[in-house]
Structure 1
């Protein structure tokens, strides 16, 4: 076991010795600083207000809204139009939040907390997709790149099993991904706080779990959203890892993985919306954070279903990569 951790340390060192690894981290930092700065400039130039007017009769108004949404939910559930089905999960989430506020006397906030603003901005800015893009490039370089560079033969000649070599590379990529995730989480929070204020640091917020509402700290909710985004990233990283091990071509691994990330996932999600069998496709329900922030956009799915299905596909991808790597001559 000690030798395996040594191998992981070696792969991690090799990864960080690459100039591209450091440059990608710097690029991520620059993107976050620039994006939050531009967002601040936009809000100032367009005089966007940060406060929300809350009526003294908010309970009565919220109850009317809930009653109207229940009618809309029944109509959507009985509607044969597939587009109407998209609204079912969102409407259920909105109804549950409204009823929870009324039953627990939780008045709507007059302004967004730094945590809510931070998680919303990170989602809208697409930081998860950027991290996935950077990790796919790193994964292709660390796995497929070593075939083209000829260094994989040196690794095989050492007293390590093939599965240990491949696993150490995967763990090194995941560790790099965690560095990018933590950097994004902290820097995005700090920049949003600097530009918009560190207000309501200890506030609690509601979180939808696909079936009920839980009331937790806003900090924990934000961390969960970032964590779910990272789980989605891992699905694409594992796919890139498997393709790299199978194809042994850096260009094929990078190109095909990026195609699935940028195009294939959108196609799978559209098929999942319009066909009942579509929800079982790879990447059709892999946008995990939307189950918490928006609600299920695909009928008959939940967060547990999405994570479970993606876990199965990830295992299949890994299995295929390991089998080919074990059997094929280097």
Structure 2
């Protein structure tokens, strides 16, 4: 199996497109850093301390509570007020824009770009063998078909992790160089009290949560590539769902509870950290089970059809 994966990895990096995708990720991280620094420079002239900012925000929150209004994005104004007061009393500066940790958190949007590249690789890694006619060269070797397909799937996953690692490491390096350290403490309101948690653990969770859409759609693209042997179809469907699936599911969920059984209603686990499930009654355990069910279906279809279909057909 190791030799199969190494062979697929060597084939992947023998293509110029692989280096282009890697280079674009590096450029995207640098560009995001430059844009963040530029936006930060626009507000550098304002000599306002974080304590005064929180006090002003607390005044607004008290007005919101007095009028019984809902906070921004459904946040509980009383909980946010308690967090702000705790920060002021314990001298814990919040990680606002311009801090190292807020920069790392905002850099997670690049995972969508990584997903785009992973989908392209997953769509062509099987279908390309049929298009180029090299699939027969693989099949004449005394190796089980499922091992060949598994090595390709592992290669796709490894390439995605490779791009995520580049993004994370480069973001950390640039963040340490250009941004203020910020606070390593994240304040959250749980069980009626404010609790201090690790900011590093939170950023890691954000990376993982944002990766779920990418992982599932990459797996879908791999399945379509193996079943239909058509990379264009796999890329088209997967990219359409990547950019439209979440929005469409959110719209449907406003009117129908059955939307909770769709894939995209369950991949955004960060909603549970904000106590904002897409459909009332949904839990993180339910979403994890649904994700595993979809993942199993995609993998079962890919391996079953690939191992039983006549290659010459």
Aligned to 1:139: 122
- The question of 1:175 aligning with 2:158 is answered yes
Alignment check: 8 A CA contact 2:54 2:84 kept: no
Q: What's the offset of the Cα at 1:191? A: 2.2
For residues 197-222 of structure 1, the C-alpha deviation after alignment (integer angstroms, 9 at most, x for no partner) is: 3x136x22146899998643222221
CA change 1:212–1:156 in 2 (3 A) is farther
- The question of 1:200 aligning with 2:182 is answered yes
User: Match of 1:216, SS?
Assistant: strand
CA change 1:238–1:66 in 2 (3 A) is farther
Partner of residue 273 from structure 1, selected from 240, 254, 268: 254
Cα distance in 1 for residues equivalent to 2:284 and 2:38: 36
Cα distance in 2 for residues equivalent to 1:180 and 1:210: 38
Structure 1 length normalisation: TM-score? 0.79
Q: Which runs of 5+ in 1 are unaligned?
A: 77-85
User: Match of 2:254, SS?
Assistant: helix
Aligned to 1:311: 292
CA change 1:210–1:243 in 2 (3 A) is farther
Structure 2 length normalisation: TM-score? 0.83
Aligned to 2:197: 216
User: Match of 2:197, SS?
Assistant: strand
Alignment check: 8 A CA contact 2:86 2:194 kept: no
Cα distance in 2 for residues equivalent to 1:27 and 1:208: 39
Aligned to 1:30: 27
- The question of 1:115 aligning with 2:114 is answered no
- The question of 1:91 aligning with 2:72 is answered no
Cα distance in 1 for residues equivalent to 2:51 and 2:239: 45
Q: What's the offset of the Cα at 1:106? A: 5.0
For residues 92-151 of structure 1, the C-alpha deviation after alignment (integer angstroms, 9 at most, x for no partner) is: 6x65565567689655525534123321x224xx21211110000011121111111111
Cα distance in 1 for residues equivalent to 2:174 and 2:151: 34
Structure with the larger RCO, 1 or 2 (CA within 8 Å, 6+ apart): 1
* Number of residue-to-residue matches in the alignment: 307
Aligned to 1:228: 209
Cα distance in 2 for residues equivalent to 1:233 and 1:50: 41
